[in-house]
């Protein structure tokens, strides 16, 4: 079945870095654009970044631009999020999601990132 | 990019209908038919319920319907059921090539 599974979350100090991964299965990964979406504790959903199916273009929310980088490896069915210069306000559950007609049609269970000293 | 505006909460009795509004601007909701809706029960990942304003993915009950007028989109749940109790979020593509979510609405079944 179609599935996304995130990993790489954890606890990191402010200013630190973390790399999240998202393993895709059950569909042709290279067909589709992919997103990262986050949700701070008790808060709503926030779109973070998007990458086109072939990796040719990336888009970022202003809140993470210049600090986060999205990438993908279609040969390994993997999506990544490199997060640098992390801030306390980046604490959230991070979801990867598959794009369908500019909607988010498949979601992973999420991975928790906590930025704290 | 500011979040789309949704009412914090709506409620209804079983069998009734509820409608959730999602107000944006001419740069997002009003600009494209790329509005989608998500259901998120507590402690779970969101689930796509509507895409491109009014289209339902396979498996989503036809009790869920979407519409749009100008800068405001709406999700209507007809024949409300206890299992519909959850948080609901709208989302839109924007003319900056980015995406924006709504503030979220908690649906309570009385």
Quick: pLDDT tens for B43-77: 999 999 999 999 999 999 999 999 999 999 999 99
What pLDDT sits at residue A61? Answer: 97
Alpha carbon B85 to its chain's center: 13
When the pLDDT of each residue in chain A is averaged and rounded to a whole number, the result is 97
Q: Using the beta-carbon criterion (under 8 Å), do B36 and A50 form an inter-chain contact?
A: no
Q: Are residues A32 and A53 in contact, defined by beta-carbon separation less than 8 angstroms? A: yes
Q: Which of A103, A106, A110, A111 to mutate to test the interface with B (most CBs of B within 10 A)?
A: A103
Mean of the per-residue pLDDT values of chain B? 97
CB pairs under 8 A between A and B: 67
Token output for B70: 């100008």
Chain B: residue whose CA lies nearest to A93: B45
Spacing of C-alpha A78 from chain mean position:
11
Of B1, B52, B103, the CB nearest to A44: B103
Is the per-residue pLDDT at B34 higher than 90? yes
Note whether A50 contacts B51, CB cutoff 8 Å. Answer: no
The answer to whether B29 and B68 are in contact (CB under 8 A) is yes
Question: Which pLDDT band, with edges at 50, 70 and 90, does A80 fall under?
Answer: very high
- Give the closest of B38, B52, B102 to A101, CB-based: B52
CB A22 within 8 A of CB A34: yes
Provide the 8-state DSSP code for B56. P
Position A72 pLDDT exceeds 90: yes
- The per-residue pLDDT for B1 is 79
- Mean per-residue pLDDT for A42-63? 96
Residue B47 near residue B64 (C-beta atoms within 8 A)? no
Of the candidates B36, B48, B98, the beta carbon closest to that of A59 is on B98
Chain B residues touching A61 at Cβ < 8 A = 1, 98
């Amino acid at each position: 079945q179609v599935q996304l599974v995130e990993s790489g979350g954890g606890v990191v100090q402010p200013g630190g870095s973390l790399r999240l991964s998202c393993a895709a299965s059950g569909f042709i990964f290279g067909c589709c654009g992919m997103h990262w979406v986050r949700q701070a504790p008790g808060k709503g959903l926030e779109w973070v970044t998007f990458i086109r199916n072939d990796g040719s273009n990336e888009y970022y929310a202003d809140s993470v631009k210049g600090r986060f980088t999205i990438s993908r490896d279609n040969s390994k069915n993997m999506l990544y999020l490199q997060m640098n210069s992390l801030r306390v306000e980046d604490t959230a559950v991070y979801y990867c999601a598959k794009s369908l007609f500019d909607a988010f049609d498949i979601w992973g269970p999420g991975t928790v990132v906590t930025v704290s000293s | 990019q500011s979040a789309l505006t949704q009412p914090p909460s709506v409620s209804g009795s079983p069998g009734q209908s509820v409608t959730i509004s999602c107000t944006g601007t001419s740069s997002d909701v009003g600009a494209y038919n790329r509005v989608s809706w998500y259901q998120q029960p507590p402690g779970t990942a969101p689930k796509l319920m509507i895409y491109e304003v009014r289209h339902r993915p396979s498996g989503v009950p036809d009790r869920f319907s979407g519409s749009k007028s100008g800068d405001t989109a709406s999700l209507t749940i007809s024949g409300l059921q206890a299992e519909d109790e959850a948080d609901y979020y709208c989302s839109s593509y924007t003319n900056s090539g980015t995406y924006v979510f709504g503030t979220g609405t908690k649906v309570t079944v009385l």
